[in-house]
Amino acid sequence: MSLLASLLGCDGNIGSVEPAEVEPPPYEPEPGPLRRLAAHEYQHTIEDLFGDMVVPPASLPSDERPGGEFGLIAVGVSTFALSGSGARSYEEAAYSVAEQAMAAEGRDAFIGCTPGGVTDDACVDQFVRTFGRRAWRRPLTSEERTRIVGIANDAAVRLDDFHGGLEFAIAYLLQSPYFLYRAEVGTPSETHPGWHELSDWEIATRLSYLLWSGPPDDALLDATAAGELSTTEGIEAQVHRMLENEEKTRRGIRAFFDDMLLLERLLNPELVAKDPEQFLHYNADVPPSAREETLRFVEDIFLRDADYGEMFTGRRTFIDRTLASVYAVPAPSREGFGLYEIPEDSHRRGILGQLSLLMGHSNKTTSSATKRGAYLRRVLMCQPIPPPPPDIETTLPTASDAPTLRQRVARHLEEPVCAGCHNLMDPLGLSLENFDAIGRFRTTENGAPIDASGYLDGRDFEDTPGLGRALAASETTSRCLVRTMYRYGTGHAERPNETAILRDLHDRFLESGRSVQTLIIALATSDGFRLVAPPDEVIATDVEGSEVSE
Amino acid sequence: MKKMLTPLLLSLLTALSCGGEPAGETQSAVVTTIGFAARNGEMAGELEVSDGIDLDGRMSDRTDIDSCRKSDFVAPDGRPGIDNQFTYLFETVEDMAEEGTIEGIIQGSINGGRLLLMIEVNDVEDWTNDDSVSVRVFNGVGTPNLASDGYIVPDQTFDIDPGSPINVGTGRIVDGVLETDPFEVELPMAFFNVFFDLRLVDAQVRANIGPEGVTDGVMGGAVTIDQILEIAAMADEMQEVQYGGLLMGVLPGMADMVRVDGRCTALSANLYFESRRAFLYPGDPPAAEPESE
């Protein structure tokens, strides 16, 4: 059985996904994906297009994570086909948005002209020209505009209402694949024969959804129309301009880490439910607050352009009254979230001390070294862990036989059937054992003292802060962020032929002092961001990317 | 005028209690349930058993003139000399009210954030035995979250109510029990269906305490007959049942404290409470609403 575990990859060699010191194969691009807007991207897009005129619809097709619960939604949206009910959801959403927009105050300012009658070709065409470019993220062809003006006029005549007609035109635009999907086909490259270069419009869309989790603004569209995205310098200039829009940049970085850190599970009460009788501090407000804390935490690292290592060692976090109660500290703010500097002598460090990890990856009544360890390995270190063999006995000894979790999971680590995988997960998870199932600090479990010591990459440590220092010092975590950002930005799991790009991005990330801002700029200006394989050479991709070795 | 002076008074009290380098640790607790301590129906020899505190330091029986011939009780843990004549009044009123009404009103006030009684223990160097600590009793402000057990979630953060007094006392910790010296306390309370500040003369606190602060205990003191009649008059205005006349007749026979001109003018009373650790927001509390004309 240990042979099987080894074959599955659970040989306990945690360095197996570390980069080999060999020259990577020459870079070759992968085909550009056809990406559906994820639900949050759809909502952000509606917000940007309509502002306060419209309440974005909440009922949208759900987004799935490829390869189980640990894949990126950003990859899943190009992996899974849209169902019939999903298409109907988009149709309903389009009509809902269009109806709200045309019923809202200020609709004429939104349209940009005052109609001269029930039909007004010039006014409709002007609207379709400007709004259509923003919605489809490219200029509409004259044929497309003519078709949409016709739709608006037909409906207006039937309804005897100019705005009623325009409602249908808007609904048409919002149901179109050009709105719902991000096609990244490109055109044959002159400088890279056999490959395609994304069009400037496709690059603009990639940029805006990477940086802002939303559509290009008029400035980006204008720059694109002016050909400014045809050069690396032009792209970089736009990235710098976009990063200065703090509101949208916050939204973008939150969306990225929301996806990477699996934070949406905190909005699903069933996934993170705890026993309220056992945990007096737990209530329905805790999980959403825990998600918000982590989002504000990563947002802060990004906006300060701080070292990504703070992800594991940082003592600046943001908590509200609900989280302060769980952390047993005074709330820093009477309303909402406030900055909280974690004391030096506290065991909480970075995300390792946050409830999004500690509570979000525990059982209902007990902590889980396995779940926490798996999260660290898979999400923050990008190391695959195969599922357990079928029909395996997973019952742990009772607390009366073994008061601490370290004692109870010892069986995992001793039995060959279990040890291969559990040696990857449990030792890391056990270093978080000073935090119970809802993330409250503790020094004992069932009356016995907790031993939170562990090791990683040859480093021994005594407690959670020690684990944080080890993770921050490990290139595994920085490579993982690079890899995840690459997947997020390009919409596919990297393959071995992209290793050279990843290695270059990682080098630049390290040179910058692990600046996530620099990583984004480096990604946006890399060949991997603007080159794709021709669409007729589509190869089935492994969305988990587990076969990749750098 | 009172509210205008309150922030100044609060600042002064804060400065007095926290001036200079802190000598030790501080923990605050919010009272999660409170009620009047009463006889429990048991006997210890010839004496009845009631929780409470020996407020006057005397072992009184029916021959003790200084206690107006009122016998003391014995605490459930065997401590003698417990003064708690209020139990008779409480039992009388409780009999007149529907069962659970008084407790329900008080608990509702606590859970609703209208009665956030807080006990802060300062200058603690040893949470098991410390011969000198200071204590502040005051009302908190905030909207408490409730736990699944129906009481306030531990470790929440509140403000000091700038409109209520801060009562400051001294005391000691003996074998994990906080004992305060007598100090004056005004507690915002609900009783007789009215809300009022219960003034406890020569109040004392006796409570279990640990590194996370006070967990449960008793607060006792003398309640003057005049104050009880004032409260009863307020209650009489709000309901059909009239307590005032009844009380005026029976209270002098119940009094055992504050002897003036040979007559006792107050009843010994005790409140049991349970509390959970809480925190105070850093900085000044929000300004009180301006007093309306």
Summarised one tens digit per residue, pLDDT across range A45-98 is: 999 999 999 999 989 999 999 987 889 999 999 988 888 899 999 999 999 999
Q: A159 near A198, Cβ under 8 Å?
A: no
Q: What residues are paired with B195 via a beta bridge?
A: B190
* Distance (Å) of CA A197 to CA A26, A138, A483, A528: 18, 16, 22, 10
Helices marked H in A328-367? 355-358
pLDDT at B143: 93
pLDDT value, residue A21: 63
Q: What percent of chain B has pLDDT over 90?
A: 61
Q: How far is CA B268 from CA A447, B78, B186, B204, B220, in A?
A: 42, 19, 15, 11, 7
Question: Cα distance from A275 to chain B (closest Cα, Å)?
Answer: 9
Q: What is the pLDDT of residue A550?
A: 32
Per the CB < 8 A criterion, the answer to whether A437 and A274 are in contact is yes
d(CA B56, CA A401): 52
Among A321, A329, A355, most B C-beta atoms within 10 A, so best to mutate, is A321
Average pLDDT for A274-292: 96
What is the model's pLDDT at position B163?
84
Query: Contact A332/B282, CB-based, under 8 Å?
Result: yes
CB atoms inside a 10 Å sphere around CB A133: 19
Q: Is the pLDDT score of B284 beyond 90?
A: no
**Rounded to the nearest 5°, which phi and psi values hold at A439?**
90, 15
Å between A332 CA and nearest CA of chain B? 7
Partners of A16 in the beta sheet? Answer: none
Q: Is A81 helix (H, G, I), strand (E, B) or coil?
A: coil
A329 in contact with B at a CB cutoff of 8 Å? yes
Residue A185 zone, left/alpha/beta (φ > 0; ψ -120 to 50; rest): alpha
Look at B155 and A277 and tell me if their CB atoms are within 8 Å. no
The pLDDT of residue A79? 85
Does any CB of chain A come closer than 8 Å to the CB of residue B283?
no
What distance lies between CA B102 and its chain's CA centroid? 16
Q: Of B42, B136, B146, B37, which Cα lies nearest the Cα of B88?
A: B37
Contact of A207 with A237, CB cutoff 8 Å: no
What pLDDT was estimated at residue A465? 97
| Contact residues, chain A, for B140 at CB < 8 Å | none
Average pLDDT, integer, range A150-156: 97
Burial of B65 by CB count in 10 Å (0-12 exposed, 13-18 middle, 19+ buried)? exposed
Q: What is the pLDDT of residue A226?
A: 98
To the nearest 10 degrees (0 to 180), the angle between helices A232-243 and A218-225 is 170
Q: Using the beta-carbon criterion (under 8 Å), do B157 and A277 form an inter-chain contact?
A: no
Contact flag A324-B279 (C-beta cutoff 8 Å): yes
- On the question of pLDDT at A518 being above 70, the answer is yes
pTM, two decimal places: 0.88
Residue A13 has pLDDT above 60, yes or no: no
Question: pLDDT tens digit string along A358-367?
Answer: 999 999 999 9
The pLDDT score that the predictor gives to residue A169 is: 98
Q: Do B154 and A280 touch (CB under 8 A)?
A: yes
Of A281, A285, A330, the CB nearest to B157: A330
Cβ contact B156–A325 (<8 Å):
yes
pLDDT above 50 (res A39)? yes
Domain boundary assignment for chain B? 24-280
| Min Cα separation A522/chain B (Å) | 43
Minimal Cβ distance to B155: which of A276, A285, A328:
A328
Q: Quote the ipTM score.
A: 0.82
Band of pLDDT at residue B241, cut at 50, 70 and 90:
low
Rounded distance between C-alpha atoms, residue A181 and residue A19, angstroms? 35
Residues of A in contact with B156 (CB under 8 A): 321, 324-325, 331
Type of residue at A124: V
Question: Taking CB atoms and an 8 Å cutoff, what residues of chain B touch A329?
Answer: 155, 279
Least confident window among A240-249, A300-309, B36-45, B266-275:
B36-45
Quick check: A373 pLDDT over 90? yes
Among the partner residues A276, A277, A330, nearest to B281 by beta-carbon distance:
A330
Does the CB of B287 have a partner CB in chain A at under 8 Å? Answer: no
What is each CA distance from A448 to A76, A398, B190, in whole angstroms?
44, 14, 44
Mean per-residue pLDDT, B140-166: 94
Which amino acid is it at B233?
Answer: A
Q: Is the pLDDT of residue B66 over 70?
A: yes
> CA A46 to CA A549: how far, in whole Å?
39
Model confidence pLDDT, tens digit, residues A155-173: 999 999 999 999 999 999 9
Planar angle of CA A157, A160, A166, nearest 5 degrees = 70
Length of chain B as a residue count: 293
Is a pLDDT exceeding 60 seen at residue A547? no
Q: pLDDT (tens digit, 9 = 90+) per residue, B70-100?
A: 999 999 999 999 999 999 988 877 777 666 6
pLDDT value for B125: 97
- Strand B156-160 to strand B263-280: parallel, antiparallel, or no bridges (unpaired)? parallel
| Burial bucket for residue B210 (CB in 10 Å: 0-12, 13-18, 19+) | middle
Q: What's residue B92's pLDDT? A: 79
- Give the Cα separation of A389 and A406 in Å (integer): 22
Task: State how far residue A140 is from chain B, nearest Cα, in angstroms.
Answer: 54
B104: which residues sit within 8 A by CB, 6+ positions away?
none
| Contact list, A327 vs chain B (CB under 8 Å) | 155
- CB < 8 Å to B145, chain A: 283, 285, 322, 325
What is the reported pLDDT for B164? 84
Distance separating alpha carbons of residues B212 and B192, to the nearest angstrom: 34
Q: pLDDT-based confidence at A537, cuts 50/70/90?
A: very low
Domain boundaries, given as residue ranges, for chain A: 34-182, 184-244+475-550, 279-473
Give the pLDDT score at A347: 97
Instruction: Examine the pLDDT at B19 and tell me if it is beyond 70.
Output: no
DSSP 8-state symbol, A437? T
> Does position B131 have pLDDT exceeding 60, yes or no?
yes
Chain A within 8 Å of B25 (Cβ-Cβ)?
no
Interval A437-451 mean pLDDT:
96
Contacts of A318 (CB under 8 A, 6+ apart): A292, A293, A296, A297, A300, A337, A338, A339, A340
Please judge whether A330 and B280 are an interchain contact, meaning their C-beta atoms are less than 8 angstroms apart.
yes
Tell me how far apart the terminal alpha carbons of chain A are, to the nearest angstrom: 29
Summarize the confidence of residues A417-429 as an average pLDDT: 85
